[in-house]
């Protein structure tokens, strides 16, 4: 007999383990979940890869070292060399024939915005023919776009830079909620707003950013996580901090005060405005881990409205895709599950970097918006630590006693546990032109992880010993 408490081995449900831990008894949690079917051989192969451990350490360190600074705002044509017929979109590559309603709607609106057609409806024939138009993923141009993620030449984009390396990423400006292009709407007021963003908002933000000097987006993200934002479906505090940082220079920019006031109202009235900075900040981090041979870390999760694709640090630019799922959540107004398009957007880059759905515990106010409960949110965040390589010491969650966010999804852990990454997301209407119909929770199609693992195993086996 000893008076010191023995350590406890907990299997299965966590209730007992939590209760015991609350009384300061050390707990070793044993994971008895079976691996995903058919992955045993590849898991064994990759686990034995002598490159893996060091590759993953380097990948995680590279991601955590990135400081994302907003350094400029400029038109996509200028930044990415897009011509009026060139269109970027969210997710892995896709042809018009396979594109979902919201992606088609956004492309139709963007074609009209660029003057490629006079009317969005007229763009259908053009995209069907493929003549004079090109489609390419944002991710192939160091960019990300929320929802449909359509970027065309005249749209202004944020430029984020990692000062240590000079690497850059890009993202368009956020249009607000409701009937907006990124949800597939292309009504006249949608295009009118986009024209105002290009004519007024973009130049004003450019002048303000240049006058203010680089804005520390990583630092704002750190603060947001202390302020109830998870930086995917809730970006309220982030938006306010951006406003705080840029407003003085906007006022002093020499732009007409009435236009500055309009821009301040537009930003202040759109709690999601900061999302379009959170996303390229996350991409800037994850791009730092690309092309590290042997690393099992996921560097992109992304959806085009038809397919969900992932990329790994250790498998170059190869996409592993499966059918995008419909989110489970809450619907706006009279909309219901039949109205929702499958999951769409590059915004899952936030979860890939350890925030969004991974940081649900820090944003309990969001759980009602996506149809969950506070204990769900805490449990989700804890669960994500089981499939990641580490924690982000810069991004901490106050209510979990300042534990770092779970960062660096490890494809081997996903396959070994069957736990899928949790994504918070908006839901687009499946019919082109409708716009947003709800918000909810979704996971990737499970099969993309065994597929990616299989390619890793293939590369491991093919490597000269």
Query: Where on the chain is the footprint of a second copy (CB under 8 A)?
Result: 15-16, 18-20, 22-24, 223, 226-229, 236-237, 240-241, 243-245, 247-252, 257-258, 260-262, 264-265, 268, 364-365, 373-375, 398-399, 401-402
Rounded least distance, CB 137 to a second copy, Å: 34
Rounded least distance, CB 65 to a second copy, Å: 24
For residues 423 and 43, what is the distance between their CA atoms, to the nearest angstrom? 25
Give the residues across from 304 on adjacent strands: 344
Residue entry with tokens 């109205």: 339
CB nearer to a second copy: give 403 or 454.
Answer: 403
Rounded least distance, CB 376 to a second copy, Å: 11
CB nearer to a second copy: give 272 or 459.
Answer: 272
Rg over CA atoms, the chain: 22
Rounded least distance, CB 48 to a second copy, Å: 40
Using alpha carbons, list the distances in angstroms from residue 345 to 5, 143, 291, 348, 448: 50, 12, 23, 7, 17
Using alpha carbons, list the distances in angstroms from residue 184 to 82, 134, 263: 21, 18, 24
CB nearer to a second copy: give 172 or 270.
Answer: 270
Query: Which tokens is 100 given?
Result: 């979902």
Number of H helices, E strands in the chain: 17, 18
CB nearer to a second copy: give 77 or 404.
Answer: 404
Rounded least distance, CB 70 to a second copy, Å: 16
Residue entry with tokens 């930003």: 267
For residues 342 and 351, what is the distance between their CA atoms, to the nearest angstrom? 18
CB nearer to a second copy: give 69 or 367.
Answer: 367
Rounded least distance, CB 246 to a second copy, Å: 10
* Cβ proximity of 287 and 317 under 8 Å: no
Rounded least distance, CB 80 to a second copy, Å: 32
User: For the residues of 123-137, what is the DSSP string, one character each?
Assistant: HHHHHHHTTT-EEEE
Of 232, 129, 201, the C-alpha closest to 439 is 232
Rounded least distance, CB 345 to a second copy, Å: 25
CB nearer to a second copy: give 12 or 398.
Answer: 398
Rounded least distance, CB 85 to a second copy, Å: 38
CB nearer to a second copy: give 48 or 252.
Answer: 252
User: For the residues of 159-194, what is the DSSP string, one character each?
Assistant: EEE-TTT--EEEEEPP--SSS-GGGT---HHHHHHH
CB nearer to a second copy: give 53 or 265.
Answer: 265
Question: Which residues, including other chains, have CB under 8 Å from residue 461's CB and lie 6 or more apart?
Answer: 45
Under DSSP, is residue 49 helix (H, G, I), strand (E, B) or coil?
coil
Which helix (DSSP H) or strand (DSSP E) does residue 27 occupy?
A: strand 27-30
Rounded least distance, CB 211 to a second copy, Å: 10
Query: Which tokens is 54 given?
Result: 């060091």
For residues 360 and 408, what is the distance between their CA atoms, to the nearest angstrom? 16
CB nearer to a second copy: give 95 or 261.
Answer: 261
Query: Which tokens is 176 given?
Result: 């607000």
CA quadruple 380, 381, 382, 388: dihedral sign: positive
Residue entry with tokens 């897009």: 82
CB nearer to a second copy: give 235 or 352.
Answer: 235
């Amino acid at each position: 007999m000893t008076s010191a408490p023995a350590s406890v081995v907990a299997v299965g449900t966590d209730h007992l383990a939590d209760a015991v831990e609350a009384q300061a008894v050390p707990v070793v949690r044993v994971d008895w979940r079976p691996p995903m079917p058919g992955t045993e051989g590849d898991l064994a192969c990759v686990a034995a890869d002598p490159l893996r451990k060091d590759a993953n350490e380097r990948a995680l360190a590279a991601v955590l070292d990135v400081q994302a600074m907003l350094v400029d705002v400029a038109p996509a044509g200028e930044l990415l060399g897009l011509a009026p017929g060139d269109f970027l979109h969210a997710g892995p590559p896709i042809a018009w024939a396979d594109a979902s309603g919201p992606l088609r709607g956004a492309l139709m609106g963007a074609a009209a915005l660029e003057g490629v057609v006079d009317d969005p409806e007229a763009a259908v024939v053009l995209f069907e023919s493929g003549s004079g138009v090109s489609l390419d993923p944002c991710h192939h141009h160091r960019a990300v776009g929320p929802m449909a993620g359509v970027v065309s030449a005249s749209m202004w984009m944020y430029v984020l830079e990692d000062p240590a390396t000079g690497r850059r990423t890009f993202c368009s400006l956020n249009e607000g909620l409701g009937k907006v292009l990124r949800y597939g709407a292309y009504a006249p007021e949608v295009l009118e707003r986009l024209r105002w963003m290009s004519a007024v908002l973009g130049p004003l933000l450019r002048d303000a950013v240049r006058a203010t000097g680089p804005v520390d987006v990583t630092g704002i993200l750190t603060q947001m996580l202390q302020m109830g934002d998870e930086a995917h479906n809730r970006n309220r505090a982030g938006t306010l901090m951006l406003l705080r940082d840029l407003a003085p220079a906007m006022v002093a920019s020499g732009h007409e005060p009435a236009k500055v006031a309009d821009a301040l109202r537009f930003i202040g009235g759109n709690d999601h405005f900061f999302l379009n900075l959170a996303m390229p900040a996350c991409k800037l981090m994850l791009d730092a881990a690309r092309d590290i041979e042997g690393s099992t870390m996921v560097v992109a999760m992304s959806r085009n409205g038809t397919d969900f694709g992932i990329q790994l640090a250790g498998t170059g630019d190869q996409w592993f895709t499966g059918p995008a799922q419909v989110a489970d959540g809450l619907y706006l107004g009279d909309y219901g599950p039949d109205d929702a398009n499958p999951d769409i957007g590059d915004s899952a880059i936030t979860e890939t970097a350890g925030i969004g759905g991974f940081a649900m515990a820090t944003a309990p106010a969001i759980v009602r918006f996506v149809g969950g409960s506070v204990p769900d949110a805490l449990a989700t965040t804890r669960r994500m630590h089981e499939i990641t390589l580490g924690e982000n010491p810069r991004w901490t969650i106050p209510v979990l006693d300042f534990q770092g966010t779970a960062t660096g999804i490890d494809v081997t852990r996903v396959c070994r546990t069957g736990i899928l990454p949790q994504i918070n997301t908006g839901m687009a209407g499946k019919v082109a032109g409708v716009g947003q119909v709800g918000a909810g929770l979704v996971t990737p199609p499970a099969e993309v992880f065994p597929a990616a693992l299989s390619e890793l195993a293939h590369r491991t086996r093919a490597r000269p010993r």
